[in-house]
Amino acid sequence: MTAQYDKTPVLQTKNLVKRYGSVTAIDHADFELYPGEILAVIGDNGAGKSSLIKALSGALIPDEGEILLDGKPVHFSSPMEARALGIETVYQNLAVSPALNIADNLYLGRELLKPGILGKVFRMLDKKEMERRAKDKMTELGLMTIQNISQAVESLSGGQRQGVAVARSALFGSKVVIMDEPTAALGVKESRRVLNLIKEVRDRGLPIILISHNMPHVFEVADRIHIHRLGKRAAIVTPQSHTMSDAVAIMTGAMEVGESEGEAA
Amino acid sequence: MSSNNTKPSTAVLDHDKVADQASTYVAKFERKETPLQRFKKFLHHYPIAAPLIVLLLAIVSFSVIVGDRFLHPFNLSLVLQQVTIIGVIGVAQTLIILTAGIDLSVGAIMVLTSVVMGRMAVNHGIDPSLSILIGIGVGALAGFINGLLITRLKIPPFIATLGSWNVFFALNLWYSKSETIRSQDISNIAPLLQWTGQTIDFFGARLTYGSLLMLGIFFLIWYALNWTAWGRHVYATGDDPEAAKLAGIRTTRILMSVYVLAGVVCAIGAWVLIGRIGSVSPQAGTMTNLDSITAVVIGGCSLFGGRGSIYGTLIGALVVGVFRNGLALAGVDVLWQEFTVGILIISAVAIDQWIRRGTA
């Protein structure tokens, strides 16, 4: 293991449990995300990976167990609280407002106000500053093929919209970015750009949790792969240690892997 | 191991690499733009252009047909007076339509609050300025009730306000005892209520304080919609409520604030109404409901929410006012005025649909 995995995980769960009536969606699940990595979370439908992700992003309150952020226990009762602590989620449906422009969307819900009396008393938006920072962020992430920051999001392609949502998470996420199926609705070339974008964000120091069903994409960008099965972690593998077929086999239960075995691989 | 990013599995990604060299020809259709398509694009980019063109065309045609009488400052200020009430109520309606709602009770709230203001001041001898404030409070409460019905009971706005329209109108008849408060009594006891109808001379045009109040409200709401976070959130809520919620906007709160604010604006409209007709009548302003929707729709607001502007509504109200006034001056029967307004509404929505098709 390299140095980064000796450190305290940025985000960690211990013995997390969530039950819906008689169904146990999360069954004493452990999870660790280390600094500077892309951790893919894969699992068959119904394995409980979305419940796990919801618990991490604050959309679901677990019944038992704990969530640790930088080693300290945290409790989120809403996605807003998770966001306030620096955990940003890029939702599959992107949560962008089509009629608003790119800058407005980046700052939606977290607008900047003008300094001084204009902002304090008249609550005036600092549109210039928001546009400037939005432009900087988009340029930094190599997204400035979008020429005009004040163009409506509805005029953008699917990949560009994804870019806006990712830029928003990178702008505000100080600890973790969670991405839910970022390439699901995209074509081949657009997927490629989004994958590059994900690596770009990681290289800028933000660890990423990537939820995806697309094995080639997972194996291309992930540093480690968390395989979820029956409500808990079945194994952790890396693209170097296992093949896609192995991953699918573990995911579906065709192959048994002890957790320690997976880690050591 | 993670420092070593060369992966044995990259071989499987070759199908992606191939795609990068693929021809992009299919994505580029050579398309020549006809002037009509360019015009359509222009309208899509500047949604305000369509109603503005209609307004200018109407003004030009009526000044040709009717002559100097139409363009006379006195007549133009009359048009402005006539559109004042629709304008104010149109502001309330715009706010609600921007959130993808509709408010059929705006007219009823206006009449109810005008009766409250009148009876408080004239019959109960309460200070007129306090009466106006009480009226505004009642307007806010009415909007609050609409908001609760829509956000808590999840009743679609159309149905919720259809119901509250009847309720508010019945309360209005009950509280007013179906009696009109005479203009004479108001000017004796509470002249402040009629202040909105007083005129000031402005280069030969006679502007009422009510018209100025309307312009003031337009400015305030324009500012709130375009320069505050609240305004962005109103648009986002109307555009895609789920996305807005995920972005951290408390959409329920936004909706509540919009309905309450609409109620307050309707109450200010009530004050303007008293100034305009002089008296307080429980039967006044029955057409205001539909006229306000007309103004908003002609002004280019989308009934599906999230798109439109407040000045569009001002132009929409002016279009209605100019057509009514011009046709009247031309000696056209009132029924044809209604006919024309009907055609205007249908054309406005048809143009809106045409603009959206294919350019989005």
Q: How much of chain A exceeds pLDDT 90, in percent?
A: 34
Q: Which amino acid is at B257?
A: S
Does B307 sit within 8 Å of A96, measured CB to CB?
no
pLDDT band at residue B26 under the 50/70/90 scheme = very low
pLDDT band at residue A3 under the 50/70/90 scheme = low
d(CA B344, CA B320): 8
d(CA A220, CA A224): 11
Residue (of B212, B199, B187) closest to B268 by Cα position: B212
Residue A255 touches chain B, beta carbons under 8 Å: no
**Chain A nearest C-alpha distance from B107 (Å):** 30
Is residue B103 within 8 Å of residue B330, measured between CB atoms?
A: no
For residue B358, pLDDT beyond 60: no
For residue B49, pLDDT beyond 60: yes
* Residues on chain B touching A76 (C-beta within 8 angstroms): none
Does A37 sit within 8 Å of B228, measured CB to CB?
no
Instruction: Give the pLDDT of residue A261.
Output: 46
Higher-pLDDT residue of B138 and B52 is: B138
Count of beta carbons in the 10 Å neighbourhood of residue B303? 15
Options 2.60.40, 3.30.450, 1.10.760, 1.10.3470; CATH of B46-355? 1.10.3470
Does B239 sit within 8 Å of A124, measured CB to CB?
no
Is residue A99 within 8 Å of residue A108, measured between CB atoms?
A: no
Higher-pLDDT residue of A194 and B204 is: A194
Residues 6 or more apart whose Cβ sits within 8 Å of residue A9 = A32, A33, A34, A68, A71
CA A60 to chain centre: 16
Q: How much of chain B exceeds pLDDT 70, in percent?
A: 90
Does A125 sit within 8 Å of B227, measured CB to CB?
yes
Count of beta carbons in the 10 Å neighbourhood of residue B272? 27
Please give the average per-residue pLDDT across A227-242, as a whole number.
90
From the list A108, A122, A155, which residue is nearest B232 (CB)? A108
From the list B9, B230, B306, which residue is nearest A99 (CB)? B306
The per-residue pLDDT of chain A, averaged, comes to 86
**Which of A147-161, B12-26, B159-173, B305-319 is predicted least confidently?**
B12-26
For residue B29, pLDDT beyond 60: no
pLDDT tens, position by position, A93-126: 778 888 898 999 999 888 889 898 888 888 999 9
Does A94 sit within 8 Å of B247, measured CB to CB?
no
Nearest chain A residue to B241, by CA: A97
Higher-pLDDT residue of B303 and B91 is: B91
Please give the average per-residue pLDDT across B15-37, as a whole number.
60
**Chain A nearest C-alpha distance from B355 (Å):** 14
pLDDT tens, position by position, B88-140: 999 999 999 999 999 999 999 999 999 999 999 999 999 999 999 999 999 99
d(CA B144, CA A40): 47
d(CA B143, CA B219): 21
d(CA B220, CA A79): 33
Residue A100 touches chain B, beta carbons under 8 Å: yes
**Which of A106-120, A229-243, B3-17, B49-63 is predicted least confidently?**
B3-17
Nearest chain A residue to B304, by CA: A99
Most confident region among B242-256, B259-273, B282-296 by mean pLDDT: B259-273
Is residue B92 within 8 Å of residue B265, measured between CB atoms?
A: yes
For residue B275, pLDDT beyond 70: yes
Please give the average per-residue pLDDT across A159-181, as a whole number.
88
Please give the average per-residue pLDDT across A42-64, as a whole number.
88
Q: What's the residue count for chain A?
A: 265
d(CA B105, CA B158): 10
DSSP string, B254-301: HHHHHHHHHHHHHHHHHHHHHHHHSSB-TTTTTTHHHHHHHHHHHTT-
Instruction: Give the pLDDT of residue A1.
Output: 46
Residue B256 sits at φ, ψ, to 5 deg, of: -60, -45
d(CA B80, CA B72): 13
pLDDT tens, position by position, B204-230: 778 899 999 999 999 999 999 999 999
Instruction: Give the pLDDT of residue B162.
Output: 95
Please give the average per-residue pLDDT across A243-261, as a whole number.
79
pLDDT band at residue A192 under the 50/70/90 scheme = confident
Instruction: Give the pLDDT of residue A11.
Output: 93
Does B10 sit within 8 Å of A188, measured CB to CB?
no
Q: ∠ CA A238-A251-A91 to the nearest 5 degrees?
A: 80
**Chain B nearest C-alpha distance from A127 (Å):** 8
Does A216 sit within 8 Å of B7, measured CB to CB?
no
Q: Which two tokens stand for residue B80?
A: 């402005």
* Residues on chain A touching B97 (C-beta within 8 angstroms): none
The per-residue pLDDT of chain B, averaged, comes to 87
Does A188 sit within 8 Å of B9, measured CB to CB?
no
Does A93 sit within 8 Å of B242, measured CB to CB?
yes
For residue B291, pLDDT beyond 90: no
The domains of chain A are located at: 3-94+156-264, 100-151
The CATH architecture assigned to A3-94+156-264 reads: 3-Layer(aba) Sandwich (3.40)
**Chain B nearest C-alpha distance from A111 (Å):** 6
Does B7 sit within 8 Å of A239, measured CB to CB?
yes
Nearest chain A residue to B306, by CA: A99
pLDDT band at residue A49 under the 50/70/90 scheme = confident
The domains of chain B are located at: 46-355
Does A189 sit within 8 Å of B12, measured CB to CB?
no
Which value does ipTM take for this structure? 0.82
Residue A254 sits at φ, ψ, to 5 deg, of: -75, -20
From the list A100, A125, A216, which residue is nearest B235 (CB)? A100
**CB–CB contacts below 8 A, A to B:** 108
Which residues from B are below 8 Å from A when comparing CB atoms? 1-4, 7-10, 12-13, 15-16, 19-20, 223, 227-230, 232-233, 235-236, 239-240, 242-244, 246-249, 306-307, 360
- Give B199's strand partners: B208
Does A97 sit within 8 Å of B235, measured CB to CB?
yes
Residue (of A45, A57, A40, A53) closest to A226 by Cα position: A40
Q: What's the residue count for chain B?
A: 360
Instruction: Give the pLDDT of residue B123.
Output: 93
Which residue out of A5, A97, A243, A248 would a mutagenesis test of the B interface target, given it has the greatest number of B Cβ atoms within 10 Å? A97
Is residue B251 within 8 Å of residue B100, measured between CB atoms?
A: no
Q: Would you put residue B276 in left (φ > 0), alpha (ψ -120 to 50) or beta?
A: alpha
Q: Is B329 helix (H, G, I), strand (E, B) or coil?
A: helix
Higher-pLDDT residue of B220 and B288 is: B220
Instruction: Give the pLDDT of residue B264.
Output: 98
Instruction: Give the pLDDT of residue A94.
Output: 75
Please give the average per-residue pLDDT across B304-313, as a whole number.
91
Q: Which two tokens stand for residue A65?
A: 């167990």
d(CA B137, CA B155): 24
DSSP designation for B32: P
Does A104 sit within 8 Å of B240, measured CB to CB?
no
Classify residue A233 as exposed, middle or buried by CB count within 10 Å of its CB (0-12, 13-18, 19+).
buried
Classify residue A47 as exposed, middle or buried by CB count within 10 Å of its CB (0-12, 13-18, 19+).
buried
d(CA B48, CA B31): 27
Instruction: Give the pLDDT of residue B194.
Output: 93
Residues 6 or more apart whose Cβ sits within 8 Å of residue B314 = B87, B90, B218, B299
* Residues on chain A touching B243 (C-beta within 8 angstroms): 93-97
Does B9 sit within 8 Å of A219, measured CB to CB?
yes
Classify residue B350 as exposed, middle or buried by CB count within 10 Å of its CB (0-12, 13-18, 19+).
exposed
pTM over 0.90: no
